[in-house]
């Protein structure tokens, strides 16, 4: 497991969340741009969790694969 990579992923995720908060405060409402920044942060955190538990993560945007790679999560959600 690459601790530096995990730390960088966490730093990027926190940065995206901070940017989303700044955007929503300045506009005064939630926006698609705010949501997309939050979604990017969530994806980075999922990938960091997968990297911690499996030593790898899929380099795509398939959330089902990311969830399935995490241990102990009997998730069975449908993609549409």
Query: Stretch 14-32: mean pLDDT, rounded?
Result: 88
15: buried, middle or exposed (CB in 10 Å: 19+, 13-18, 0-12)? middle
Whether residue 1 has pLDDT greater than 70: no
Whether residue 44 has pLDDT greater than 90: yes
Q: 18-22: which pairs have CB atoms within 8 A and are 24 or more residues apart?
A: none
Find tokens 């926006």 and name the residue.
31
Whether residue 75 has pLDDT greater than 70: no
What is the pLDDT, as a whole number, of residue 42?
A: 94
Does 40 or 74 have the greater pLDDT score?
40
What is the pLDDT, as a whole number, of residue 15?
A: 96
Enter the tokens of residue 16. 């995206």
Q: How far apart, in whole angstroms, are the C-alpha atoms of residue 43 and residue 65?
A: 12
């Amino acid at each position: 497991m690459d601790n530096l990579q995990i730390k960088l992923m966490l730093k990027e995720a926190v940065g995206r969340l901070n940017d989303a908060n700044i955007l929503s405060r300045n506009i005064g409402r939630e926006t698609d741009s705010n949501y997309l920044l939050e979604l990017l942060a969530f994806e980075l955190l999922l990938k960091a969790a997968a990297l911690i538990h499996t030593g790898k993560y899929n380099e795509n945007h398939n959330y089902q694969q990311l969830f399935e790679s995490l241990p102990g999560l009997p998730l069975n959600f449908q993609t549409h």
